[in-house]
Amino acid sequence: MILFLVSIPYYFTQYYPIFTIGYILLSLLVGSGLFTVLYLFGLMGKADVFLITEVTLLFPFIEIYDITWLKAPVKIHVPPVMIIVLYSALSSIAFMLFKTVFISIRYWGKLPRDLSLSMKIALVLIGRPMTIREYLNTQNYYPLVLFEETKQGIIKKYRLTFDVEREDYVEHQEKFKELITKGLVSPDEYIWVTYGIPFLVPLLAGFILFLILSDLPLYYLFKF
């Protein structure tokens, strides 16, 4: 933040004031603003918001394009954080599609029969099956099926999201241990889970792609 603040007078000498202000606001909106909204909806961790804010403040202007391997032949470039977030999102999608094909081929038979086709596809997209016994030996995995204990027995409720800030995977594991002890579920029963991976990983991939490709793919995409 200090580096960013002391750099602002320099940017005002290099660019028109209205351009400087607009560029900074757009960068903060796409970086901190977007990720803050995702955090408020429980789709992003607080650390991810801090991280993207740091990236936004460290590289607010187009000078970083001077050290990228490739660069679009234009005078005005897109704010770096926009390209980094775009590449990060594309990296996540590419990994998800690869994982989906693998899970579909190997575990399609493990999908609950009573679910709709759309729900089955969603589970394959974001999750994977494992036995409760396996789940109890994992870290940072969140169940996509919750077991509710009632007088009539166990009720399963499937979900597609979880709150990374308000849920602890250890508490879910303790609940499964309790149900196993009571004899209400079998440790060999399959459940669907998803990994609570921080956005740090795809953000790193996006940043590396930015250093290599910069905004050249966008240039060719919109050129035609």
Residue 127, domain extent: 96-195
Alpha-carbon distance of 80 to 224, in angstroms, equals: 22
The answer to whether residue 166 is domain-embedded is yes
Is position 85 within any domain?
Answer: no
pLDDT in tens, the chain (224 residues): 888 888 888 888 888 889 889 988 999 999 899 999 988 887 788 889 999 999 999 888 888 899 999 999 998 898 999 999 999 999 999 998 999 999 999 998 899 888 999 999 999 999 999 999 999 999 989 999 999 988 878 899 999 988 877 889 999 999 999 999 999 999 999 999 998 877 888 999 999 999 999 999 999 988 75
List the structure tokens of 116.
Answer: 């709709």
Is residue 14 included in any domain, yes or no? no
In a domain, 62, yes or no: no
**What's the total number of domains in the chain?**
1
- 131 part of a folded domain: yes
Question: In whole angstroms, what is the distance from residue 192 CA to residue 122 CA?
Answer: 11
Q: From start to end of the chain, where are the E strands?
A: 128-131, 141-143, 145-150, 153-158, 190-195
169 lies in some domain = yes
Q: Is residue 44 part of a domain?
A: no
Q: Is residue 34 part of a domain?
A: no
